[in-house]
Structure 1
Amino acid sequence: MKERLIITAAARDLIHELAEKHGDLMFYQAGGCCEGTQPQCFEKGGFFPRMNDAMIGLAEGYEFWVDRDLFEYWQFSEFTLDVLDGFGPGGFSLESSLGKTFKIHYRLFSEAELKDLTPVLRNA
């Protein structure tokens, strides 16, 4: 099965650092404008996905949720979770205090990959 979510080494390292400091994590990528579409990292239970939001995979074992409308737009794409220096969405995401921000890079799946995608989990 082809995974929908890929994680860079830099993002992996930051996730481990955040988990050490905060415990279990979760990710949510909203469908707002501008910085609102950047993924945000919260302590598990610090944010609750809405009905029909899509859980597209696990980031180092932690759920990665995408806003239902944003997922409909990007459903044929691979999400690569990366990290950059700088401040992201208003300081709400845990990595902001470290002067970092998570970023998603998109790549459209090939026709062959589309036939073998891992299913998403929808929030009921």
Structure 2
Amino acid sequence: MVERVIATEETLKLLEQLKKVHGDLMFHQSGGCCDGSSPMCYPRGEFRVGESDILLGEIGDTPFYMAKDQYEYWKHTQLIIDVVEGRGGMFSVEGPTGKRFLTRSRVFTEDNADGV
């Protein structure tokens, strides 16, 4: 089964560091206006997930949600959550680290066109 969302080793390392400070975390990718379509990382429970969000999977025991309308654009891809140098979204917990989460993607092949 092909996972819809995966993470790089660098992302998993940063997640572990952030969990020591903030406890359990969650991701949400909206494609909204203020922070663009960056994956936002929040302490679990501080971002309210609603009926317009879907759970794509988990990375490092951290749930990853996306807005349903955004998912329609990304449903043919596997999301790869990476980390790069720089400032991320102003509300995302990695902000003070000087690093930011970044979504990369790859299109599913015919063999895994369903994403599963």
Matches of 1:108 and 1:43 in 2, distance apart? 30
Q: C-alpha deviations, 1:23-61, integer Å up to 9, x for none? A: 110000112147321001000001012213111110101
Q: Percent identity?
A: 37
> How many correspondences in the alignment?
116
Q: Give runs of ≥4 in structure 1 deviating > 2 Å.
A: 33-36
Query: After alignment, is 50-59 or 6-15 more displaced?
Result: 50-59
1:111: how far off?
1.2
Which amino acid letter does the alignment assign opposite residue 108 of structure 1?
A: V
1:77 aligns with 2:77: yes
Tell me the C-alpha RMSD between the 2 structures: 1.3
Unmatched segments (≥5 aa) in structure 1: 118-124
- The equivalent of 1:107 in structure 2 is 106
Distance 1:76 1:95, change over 3 A: same
Q: Distance in 2 between matches of 1:56 and 1:109?
A: 15
- Cα gap change, 1:2 to 1:53, in 2 (>3 Å): same
Which structure shows the bigger proportion of residues in helix conformation? 1
SS in 2 for 1:38: coil
**TM-score under structure 1 length normalisation:** 0.88
Correspondence for 1:95: 94
1:32 paired residue number: 32
Instruction: Give per-residue Cα distances to partners, 1:56-77, cap 9 Å, x unaligned.
Output: 1101011100111111110010
